[in-house]
Structure 1
Amino acid sequence: MTIDSNKLFKDYLSDIKNYDEVLKPNKEINQNWNTLLENISTIGDEKLKSLQSEIDWLMAENGVTYNVYNDPNGLNRPWNLNIIPFVINEDEWKEVERGIKQRAELLDLILKDIYGERKLIKNKILPPEVIYEHRGFLRHCDQIKYTTAKSLMIYSAEISRGPDGRMWVVNDRTQAPSGMGYALENRFTTSRIASELYNNINVKQPSAFFNDFNQMLIDAAPKDVENPNIVILTPGPHNETYFEHAYLSSLLGYPLVKGNDLIVRNGFVWMKSLDGLKKVDVILRRVDDVFVDPLELREDSYLGIAGLLEVVRNQNITVVNPVGSGVIENSGLVPFMNAICNYFFKEDLILPQIASWWCGQEKELNFVLKNIKNFVVKRIDRSNRESLFFCEFLSEVEIEVLKKEILKNPCRFVAQEKISFSSAPTYINGKLEPRKIVCRTFSIAKGNGYTVMPGGLVRVASERKELRVSNQRGGVSKDFWVISNELQTNIQQYTWNSSQNISVSDINDLPSNTAENLFWSGRYLGRALVTSRFIRMVLNNMNNEQYNSRKSESEILNYLYKAITNITSTFPGFVGEGSEKTLENPLKEIQSLILDENRIGSLAQTLNSFNNSYYSLRNLWSKDMWRVFDSIKKLWRNYNADEQPSIASLTKLLDRTVTRLIAFMGLIEESILVNQGLLLYFIGLQMEQATMNIAKCRSLIVFNYEEQLNYEILESLLSSHESLNIYRYSYRSYLSIDNVVNLVLLDKEYPKSLSYQLKRIEKDIERLPIPKGTLGFSKSLETIRVANKLIKNVDSITLLNLNEDKTLRNNLEDLLSELSDLLHETSLSISNTYFDHTYQQTQMVKQKIVI
């Protein structure tokens, strides 16, 4: 086929000035792309558009996200995958692979030398300022020895095709390289949705690489450790690549932990689990160097483990990649890399680099300042996040400011040749456009060498003429195909060595943060469901009373309004100061109780709290759960709160919310085993439902009403409790206070009764592990047993006795109040026993860490 004959390529050639992956310099189609382009042509424009929509849908449904800091659209931006893959032939890839392995070996030696003998500096191969002016150099890591053959266990190189048609190295990623999980998810999605693209194409699969990756983590354990305990250390749900942290945790079966899940004791790192402390042997870290140890590095860090570096020095734990490896993410090294390669290997670099000038040398500084318009200027560290200057686009004033900044500290700047990298076809708005691309490759230590992932992650510029490629700037991604001449199987097998791989398979091993989030997920879900049902019941009563927004004439509605405030604790609301004015327009207050995210106790605020717990646990949730969860978010996002709400619109919102919450709660029990943490969720759920059950009864049936009002109150209570049909079927009688109390509070067989809920909490607490050296377990069990004894021995007749003026049931109020206090004490005991993260160590000497 020819490009000109295909309408998908309309205007494709209009502004191509540099190398394009599809075209040879003579504008003929690159042979590597022939079959793929034929498959695209066969699929056709309409089908291609449909498949792209399916990919977008699946990515959103599976919850594939990328966090963008300070994004006005919020966290968890959907990950964008373009349907057109990037293609490279295996013959060319072998040369790239050889270059990646060489560079990984070289960087490993540089890392060892920087924190070891420093021969490169002593022999004047490398100026010392290149290292010591880089904020990634951590003197605390000096002379640390490692038990693994390679210090640099994971290496990622960003590559792109240069003007000579060869793949060039753009950046090195050595600290905590990200993208492997996204690359794998891209492959899963493309092969599932767009299988027609694979016709007659042999694409190499990454399964063997991930098997090697898992084995690498196992082999990294300190000597003489069998069946090592491996954890993945994450900064938490707000980190930009948190999806990948959870994804790898789920794929590999290793606990996803935060810094306060881990603690140093007796020269080892331990994970705080429900059963106490469990020794950790390997940490796959996704936390930046300076944040991993607040005792020696950044004392204000809440992301790391105090004392970690001392454990590393004593070779009692392996951190992948080692702390301090960020120093070789250093553009200042680039001008010296070929010399270093010759020093160590007696050979040149296999993969070319961008021509670079380090400004710490007088000759190079003068050359850069004289020709600055021709260069891209960057700092030697973290150039991807700050101050990358495309000097050709700067004004004269901006150029002068930049020159002054360079002269102030020239050692911290590098100038690089302005290179326009290749473009590749990207499906945009029904046609193919050339967009700049950067490929991220991945290499891991294997034995005494390295192995390279066949493919990787391809990122695409956000606009046709955009020079920079960045996810933070709105770019998209592509699947990365290495095409073989040999037949490949599309079956991807990921099987770990079960004799050595230890996963979280028992509640005793559950990290404390995970346990806490499971507990609070149960509480937030229970609170959201009870709140939704109660407010929905009130709205239905308002509708039945032919409510108007100015004044309510219904006596029962006034009681129900006050009950809403008491149940949700959103005072003053309908009961506190200013309640008379609030009652003049109750719908306004109810709207706030439903939609105001900043109001503590509102439904929106409760759902937001659940949202935070949910993201912290996403490595445990199934894809079906994500879809239901996402449908809840979309439901609320699409509700137009700017318009004057009506009873009907709010009721519809709550109807749909309740349905989705129930669906989500049902899926939880299918996704996690009880002995893997579901028990904590159950305890939280039952505790919240019991607490709100008590609150409803205290608000509605402690008081005595005249007969008709009493009937309406009882009917409203049962309706909000989803128990009205159960009552009618069980009692077949007129609503009476004694029967309602028996059903809602005392029935030992009814799952929604308080008696049943309290007993369930006691049984579940009995199944929790008993942490060593703590009395908290016995305290929580003792407290809930007192509550169960109280409700078990209650006399229903005495319970319903009225006071002297026949207005209150004091015995009922006293019982409910005491049970509420006991539940609160039980919850505090559980938190203090299992979720205590207060242990801290502080630096004895203040240290200044340059950032």
Structure 2
Amino acid sequence: MKKPVTSFFKDYFKDFENYDEVLKSDMKINPTWEKLLSNFSKLGIKEITKRQENLDWLLAENGVTYNVYNDPKGLNRPWSLNIIPFVIDNKEWKTLEKGLQQRAHVLDLVLKDIYGKRELIKNGVIPHEIIFSHRGFLRPCDQIQYKTAQQLLMHSADLARGPDGRMWVVNDRTEAPSGIGYALENRFSTREVVPDFFNEINVKQPFGFFQDFNQLLINAAVSNKENPTIVILTPGPHNETYFEHAYLSSFLGYQLVKGSDLVVRDQKVWIKTLKGLIQVDVIYRRVDDAFVDPLELKGDSFLGVAGLLEVVRQQNVAIMNPIGSGVLENPGLIPFMNSICKYFLKEDLLLPQIASWWCGQEKERKHVLENIKDLVVKPIDITNRENIYFCEFLNDAEIADLKKQILAKPYRFVAQEKISFSTAPNLTKEHLEPRKVVCRTFAIAKENTYSIMPGGLVRVAAERKDMRVSNQKGGTSKDFWVTNNNKKNNKKLQRYHWHHSTSNNLTGIENLPSNTAENLFWSGRYLARTLITARYIRMVLNQMSNSEFNKRDSDSESLHILYKSITHLTSIFPGFTGKNEEKALEDPLKEIAIVLFDKTKVGSLAHALSSFNNSYYSLRNLWSKDMWRVYDTLQKIWHDFDEEDHQNEKKIIKLLDTVITKLIAFIGLIEESILVDQGLLLYFIGLQMELATMCIDKSRALLAINYEEDVEYEILESLLNSHESLNIYRYSFKSYLNVENVVNLILLDKSYSRSLKYQLNRIKRDIFKLPKRNEDTALTSLQKAITEACNLINDAKATDLIKVDKNEVTRKNLENLLASLSDKIHDTSMSLTDMYFNHSDEQKQLVDQNYTL
């Protein structure tokens, strides 16, 4: 028997104080929520809890993350989405939509005015301190003209329902508003996990909004090109919303770039590609104002492009939103917004705001100081994440200090009424609890008005009693539904599509941005380094295990040689060499654990894996969901390995088995995810270059020395095992292990994909496919270096390489060849970097600029 809807709210009312989205004042269910709750009750709390677990799993599997600064759990925390949506009916939404369009329009007029005629200040509508004391007001942006009808191309407003039951504006976000990607992913994920929730409910879809968003970017191009070059400028993978940057890049089909991918030449912005420079027409930026141009703004920023602001002045690039728009994220404007609206539009604001008092006015300051315990005090400028003071929770000393700050610089503070935001149900441990909610809405310029996203991003407080709603503080999110009352069952899937041929020309290897190319190259190198290191140490650990059952002297000697080879392969000295050798041999597993797990040691498996993670995450817009799943599983396996087991040989071998399997799966998936012309070629070059380098290092450690027969047999077998080549050797030669055959297979076999000759010739073939920077037909330094390496290996003969002179133990011909090849590979890598990956353009301000207040 189906439970009544109210049964799910058993303890929901125990501390009922606020306006609740579900409950009316008489404790009856809000009609807007009735159908959703009916669908909820049909599934039951047990099934809903199971679906929440599925939703959490889906988000983790799809790699939906949110970076929490200074999080002890590390970056890339899984995005948190509560399964219970947030619902508003269409009638209320229409009112909100009009209010949001009006507010965006007013703020656009404010932005034009404060960087233009400044009539608001001249006519006394707003005090000048509110603008000029705000770090978001950037003097270099004064009097800049723009092609578009609106300057404020995107506006985001945080809304919360106040005690009167109406939605109030809490904050404005204008600098680089975040959330539209998360909002879209919330909708996709909710629909996939709980399609039952949508039964007989017509939920508005954001399809039209994203079409408008795409068209806005195209129309913003200053040159009216039919095929403008559009890029998304990101601060990089450590930014809190980097997932969204990569997500939108993949979803919209525009290149994701960092500041070092771009350069200013001839008063235009260019993207640095493998072939050369391509002019950029539109930048959708996710970098904060002060960081976008180190030449005129924040001089120590490496996130922006030196000279970008001058290009904007010359109208040679469009930026969304304009540099300097962060000044509108100013709570000091809120007390004056209605007057501003009347000044420009001759009408009142449609959306109410939190009652606010700017402390720069004597009467308002006095009110704030006398009633401070009942208020929330904010700096007008929160660009540096300054404190927000919830004064009811401050002690007497803290209140006195805050008053002192206000009296010292009153113009810098605004106080707001303390209100309790409305609550909405959250599924928490198999029951529903009320949580405070804030709704982030999105408006984008369209013709002479603004297009509003139906719904948006709902953020939810982490705990029942929490006053603040913040993802950085552990909050969750909800899907945001705007519903019609006709109860039409909206199961139609709308397609998100647009003609990229008219909006994106950054395709093909020649047009690959240099940062993307570099990360692909190093992803290949780090992936190979991780795989080879894991395989090699697993081989040594297996030899250690076998030696427990075989006490021959040769085993002991060969093991000591293998221990030393670990040190030479990873370059983690002193390790098993020199004066430290005797100490290390007392407990070899302890030394091996350092090589495996010490992230601070360059050359360790942990360091290689961490370096690979950084390169991989920088390219996440290129990778498939299957790749993310393998990557995420690998991360969990590695980080969940108990530190107490670092001295457990068997458990380490099992860990390495799993890591190697995941790495091989990942390598296979890469070739399915991107095309050679999309950059896979650079990945292959990096992969083969590292495989060749480590093949040389292993061969120098194990083949360049002439050992006694029994020891040599053990060493050759170990080398082939680490190379995954023992079975191929036996099938190919059907003979007792000897150095000549091993050299022929591992180093000189032109058809064996793991041989050094094959790898070097593969590198040469791929390098010759890279675009040349000019029309000169002569070999480049890059091509010369790899050609010389191939000539050396192609001319080599095993019989010459294995010769040992009398009274010598070293195979000098082999050692000399391997040393020369190592140098050539290094030269090739450096030439590749200089030619395609050089991001070292010097940027320096002629005059120090300091806007600190």
Calculate the TM-score normalised by the size of structure 2: 0.98
Deviations 1:71-121 (A, max 9, x none): 111111111000000001011101111110000000000000000011111
Distance 1:433 1:779 in 2: 66
Q: Does 1:556 align with 2:558?
A: yes
Moved more, 175-184 or 373-382: 373-382
The answer to whether the Cα contact below 8 Å between 1:253 and 1:504 also exists between their aligned partners in 2 is no
**Residue type of the partner of 2:96?**
V
Moved more, 492-501 or 455-464: 492-501
Structure 2 counterpart of 1:244: 244
1:3–1:318: structure 2 CA closer, same or farther, 3 Å change rule?
Answer: farther
The answer to whether the Cα contact below 8 Å between 2:5 and 2:37 also exists between their aligned partners in 1 is no
Structure 2 counterpart of 1:600: 602
1:64–1:776: structure 2 CA closer, same or farther, 3 Å change rule?
Answer: farther
Cα displacement (A) at 1:490: 3.7
Moved more, 636-645 or 345-354: 636-645
The answer to whether the Cα contact below 8 Å between 2:332 and 2:414 also exists between their aligned partners in 1 is yes
**Residue type of the partner of 1:207?**
F
Cα displacement (A) at 1:307: 0.5
Distance 1:399 1:650 in 2: 56
Q: Does 1:287 align with 2:290?
A: no
1:774–1:832: structure 2 CA closer, same or farther, 3 Å change rule?
Answer: farther
Structure 2 counterpart of 1:526: 528
State how 1:462-477 maps to structure 2 within 5 Å. 462-477=462-477
The answer to whether the Cα contact below 8 Å between 2:227 and 2:505 also exists between their aligned partners in 1 is no
Moved more, 798-807 or 142-151: 798-807
Structure 2 counterpart of 1:755: 757
1:383–1:529: structure 2 CA closer, same or farther, 3 Å change rule?
Answer: closer
Structure 2 counterpart of 1:690: 692
Cα displacement (A) at 1:223: 3.1
Structure 1 counterpart of 2:839: 837
Structure 2 counterpart of 1:736: 738
Structure 2 counterpart of 1:544: 546
State how 1:493-532 maps to structure 2 within 5 Å. 493-532=495-534
Structure 1 counterpart of 2:451: 451
Distance 2:3 2:167 in 1: 24
Structure 2 counterpart of 1:679: 681
The answer to whether the Cα contact below 8 Å between 1:358 and 1:364 also exists between their aligned partners in 2 is yes
**Residue type of the partner of 1:161?**
R
Match of 1:821 among 801, 809, 823: 823
Cα displacement (A) at 1:796: 2.1
Q: Does 1:319 align with 2:326?
A: no
Cα displacement (A) at 1:707: 1.5
The answer to whether the Cα contact below 8 Å between 1:777 and 1:829 also exists between their aligned partners in 2 is no
Structure 2 counterpart of 1:254: 254
**Residue type of the partner of 1:780?**
L
**Residue type of the partner of 1:447?**
E
Structure 1 counterpart of 2:393: 393
Distance 1:611 1:383 in 2: 30
Q: Does 1:585 align with 2:568?
A: no
State how 1:116-135 maps to structure 2 within 5 Å. 116-135=116-135
Distance 1:144 1:526 in 2: 50
Moved more, 465-474 or 540-549: 540-549
Gap runs ≥5 in structure 1:
none
Deviations 1:21-70 (A, max 9, x none): 00111111100000000111111111111100011111111111111111
Cα displacement (A) at 1:13: 0.9
Cα displacement (A) at 1:7: 3.9
Distance 1:439 1:705 in 2: 73
Question: What SS does the corresponding residue of 2:647 show, helix, strand or coil?
Answer: coil
Structure 2 counterpart of 1:638: 640
Question: What SS does the corresponding residue of 1:260 show, helix, strand or coil?
Answer: helix
The answer to whether the Cα contact below 8 Å between 1:175 and 1:288 also exists between their aligned partners in 2 is yes
**Residue type of the partner of 1:95?**
T
Cα displacement (A) at 1:644: 5.3
Question: What SS does the corresponding residue of 1:450 show, helix, strand or coil?
Answer: strand
Distance 1:251 1:732 in 2: 54
Structure 2 counterpart of 1:175: 175
Distance 2:433 2:88 in 1: 19
Cα displacement (A) at 1:772: 3.8
Structure 2 counterpart of 1:45: 45
Cα displacement (A) at 1:775: 11
Distance 2:555 2:702 in 1: 19
Structure 2 counterpart of 1:418: 418
Question: What SS does the corresponding residue of 1:577 show, helix, strand or coil?
Answer: helix
Cα displacement (A) at 1:242: 0.6
The answer to whether the Cα contact below 8 Å between 2:593 and 2:646 also exists between their aligned partners in 1 is no
The answer to whether the Cα contact below 8 Å between 2:704 and 2:810 also exists between their aligned partners in 1 is yes
Distance 1:825 1:397 in 2: 64
Match of 1:627 among 601, 626, 629: 629
Distance 1:837 1:775 in 2: 26
**Residue type of the partner of 2:129?**
E
Distance 1:31 1:759 in 2: 71
1:615–1:732: structure 2 CA closer, same or farther, 3 Å change rule?
Answer: same
The answer to whether the Cα contact below 8 Å between 2:227 and 2:502 also exists between their aligned partners in 1 is yes
1:3–1:847: structure 2 CA closer, same or farther, 3 Å change rule?
Answer: farther
Deviations 1:230-274 (A, max 9, x none): 111111111111110111111111111111111100010011111
Deviations 1:704-731 (A, max 9, x none): 1122211111111110000011111111
State how 1:325-404 maps to structure 2 within 5 Å. 325-382=325-382, 385-404=385-404
The answer to whether the Cα contact below 8 Å between 1:532 and 1:654 also exists between their aligned partners in 2 is yes
Distance 1:546 1:745 in 2: 32
Cα displacement (A) at 1:383: 7.5
Structure 2 counterpart of 1:148: 148
State how 1:638-677 maps to structure 2 within 5 Å. 638-643=640-645, 645-677=647-679
The answer to whether the Cα contact below 8 Å between 1:147 and 1:223 also exists between their aligned partners in 2 is no
Cα displacement (A) at 1:547: 7.9
Distance 2:5 2:173 in 1: 41
Structure 2 counterpart of 1:482: 482
The answer to whether the Cα contact below 8 Å between 2:751 and 2:758 also exists between their aligned partners in 1 is yes
Cα displacement (A) at 1:329: 0.5
Cα displacement (A) at 1:501: 1.6
Question: What SS does the corresponding residue of 2:612 show, helix, strand or coil?
Answer: helix
Question: What SS does the corresponding residue of 2:621 show, helix, strand or coil?
Answer: coil
Deviations 1:111-140 (A, max 9, x none): 000000111111111111111111100110
Cα displacement (A) at 1:2: 12
Cα displacement (A) at 1:492: 2.9
Distance 1:393 1:314 in 2: 51
1:654–1:644: structure 2 CA closer, same or farther, 3 Å change rule?
Answer: closer
**Residue type of the partner of 1:654?**
L
**Residue type of the partner of 1:183?**
A
The answer to whether the Cα contact below 8 Å between 2:705 and 2:810 also exists between their aligned partners in 1 is yes
Question: What SS does the corresponding residue of 1:84 show, helix, strand or coil?
Answer: coil
Give the count of matched residue pairs. 850
Moved more, 248-257 or 637-646: 637-646
Distance 2:402 2:726 in 1: 74
Structure 2 counterpart of 1:195: 195
Structure 2 counterpart of 1:572: 574
**Residue type of the partner of 2:220?**
A
State how 1:708-723 maps to structure 2 within 5 Å. 708-723=710-725
Distance 2:420 2:114 in 1: 33
The answer to whether the Cα contact below 8 Å between 2:554 and 2:711 also exists between their aligned partners in 1 is no
Cα displacement (A) at 1:645: 2.0
Distance 1:814 1:646 in 2: 39
1:643–1:720: structure 2 CA closer, same or farther, 3 Å change rule?
Answer: closer
Moved more, 804-813 or 152-161: 804-813
The answer to whether the Cα contact below 8 Å between 1:6 and 1:41 also exists between their aligned partners in 2 is no
Gap runs ≥5 in structure 2:
none
Question: What SS does the corresponding residue of 1:682 show, helix, strand or coil?
Answer: helix
Deviations 1:489-543 (A, max 9, x none): 5413111123412153211111111111100000000000110001000000000
